[in-house]
Structure 1
Amino acid sequence: MCSSKGVALAIAALFAVWLTANAGQAAAQGAFSVTSSDLHDGAAIGKAQVYDHGECKGGNTSPQLSWRNAPAGTKSFAVTIFDVDAPGPGWWHWAVAGIPPNVTALPANASGSGYLDTIGAMQARNDWGDVGYGGPCPPPGKPHRYIVTVFALNTADLRLATGRHALMFDHEINTALLAKASLTVTYQR
């Protein structure tokens, strides 16, 4: 008959072996991450992505984004761009959901080119009042930070439709979150 102390030691040893094996696999796979040929973490956003209206004269082109190492069980992806320094609760520049799990990149101008429609994704209404991407155009003064986030989700069935406000997209995205990866860019006028 085994003692309870012997059983506990055996279980602890098996757990240590399992943990070591799985930690090595996770480290080999790497963390969920996002990169962009248009945006660089910590750097200023380019004129191509700046809003084109009023005092802002940019290309209003959604940035190229790529992501890798999505967690197992990912059924769709979503993307948001949010200005955390805007007055009040912040400013939504872009929210996209329903990106299929086999898509791991968006080309530049995915928002305006019709590409997102071809893959079945849906875009929110941003805080400019437009459906799709609306680039930075903060008031003159201090630089603003824009958080670009890609979300790996555990469902493809979010209760959303194109044209709903980005805040509603944000809520639904966060109810299905498996992992997220972000980069931060800045813009100042």
Structure 2
Amino acid sequence: MSLDRPVAPAPYELLPQVGAFTVTSTDVRDGEPLAGRYAHGSSGGENVSPQLAWSGAPEGTKSYVVTCFDPDAPIPGGFWHWVAVNLPAGTTELPTGAGSGDDGLPAGAFHVRTDFGSRDYGGAAPPQGDQVHRYYFVVHAVDVDALDVDQDSSAAVVSFNLAFHTLARAILAPTFAH
């Protein structure tokens, strides 16, 4: 199966400009294919969230939100793979596997439901034979201690709130296809 469609624009280029800072990973690289370990079980993976570390967030950062979004999913609005909300300002890293549930997150932080329907990391899962997909792992530096959302909020509601509270973003965008 090959879905003949143009590549979606980079999602954060469509939003108002904000500052930038640095995110790195010992597990994934910007522009390079994800290892199967970080793919969803439906794609033959282990569904493990990658390690992320960040630095250089702007003054005034009071919390962080970490997301993973696939703009290349064959649906109009892309696909949310991970949304970890209200990470305390002192947090500078999530270890490999932190997306397995709220127990892997710092106190006060939590996951909201992804487009898989669960409250955890859902790995890469493009349709078999589809184009290469980009997975935007983004750390959002936020200007409030906690977004006004809860575990029942959708990823879209979190994203909407981020539009008003993001000071800066740090982005890694590895790829995956199978």
Same fold (TM over 0.5): yes
Deviating beyond 3 angstroms after TM superposition, the runs of 4 or more aligned structure 1 residues are none
Q: CA deviation at 1:124?
A: 1.3
Q: CA deviation at 1:156?
A: 1.3
Q: CA deviation at 1:58?
A: 0.9
The answer to whether residue 93 in structure 2 is matched with residue 105 in structure 1 is yes
Which structure shows the bigger proportion of residues in helix conformation? Answer: 1
The answer to whether residue 98 in structure 2 is matched with residue 121 in structure 1 is no
| Larger RCO of the pair (alpha carbons < 8 Å, separation 6+) | 2
Structure 1 length-normalised TM: 0.79
Q: Counterpart of 2:6?
A: none
Specify the code of the residue in structure 2 equivalent to 1:65.
L
Q: Counterpart of 1:134?
A: 122
The answer to whether residue 76 in structure 2 is matched with residue 86 in structure 1 is no
Match of 1:75 among 59, 62, 67: 62
Q: 1:20-39 alignment to 2 at 5 Å?
A: 32-39=21-28
SS where residue 157 of structure 2 aligns? helix
> Aligned residues: percent identity?
38
* Uncovered stretches (5+) of structure 2, i.e. residues with no partner: 1-19
Task: Count residues in correspondence.
Answer: 156
Is the 8 Å Cα contact of residues 93 and 136 (structure 1) preserved in structure 2? yes
Deviations 1:70-113 (A, max 9, x none): 10011001111100111221000011110000110000111215
Match of 1:170 among 149, 159, 167: 159
Q: Distance in 2 between matches of 1:150 and 1:157?
A: 15
Specify the code of the residue in structure 2 equivalent to 1:37.
T
Structure 2 length-normalised TM: 0.84
Q: Counterpart of 1:7?
A: none
Specify the code of the residue in structure 2 equivalent to 1:89.
G
* Uncovered stretches (5+) of structure 1, i.e. residues with no partner: 1-30
Match of 1:147 among 115, 121, 136: 136
Is the 8 Å Cα contact of residues 123 and 163 (structure 1) preserved in structure 2? no
Q: Which has the larger radius of gyration?
A: 1
Task: Answer with 163-172 or 128-137: which moved more.
Answer: 163-172
Specify the code of the residue in structure 1 equivalent to 2:173.
T
Task: Answer with 61-70 or 158-167: which moved more.
Answer: 158-167
The answer to whether residue 52 in structure 2 is matched with residue 65 in structure 1 is yes
Specify the code of the residue in structure 1 equivalent to 2:63.
S
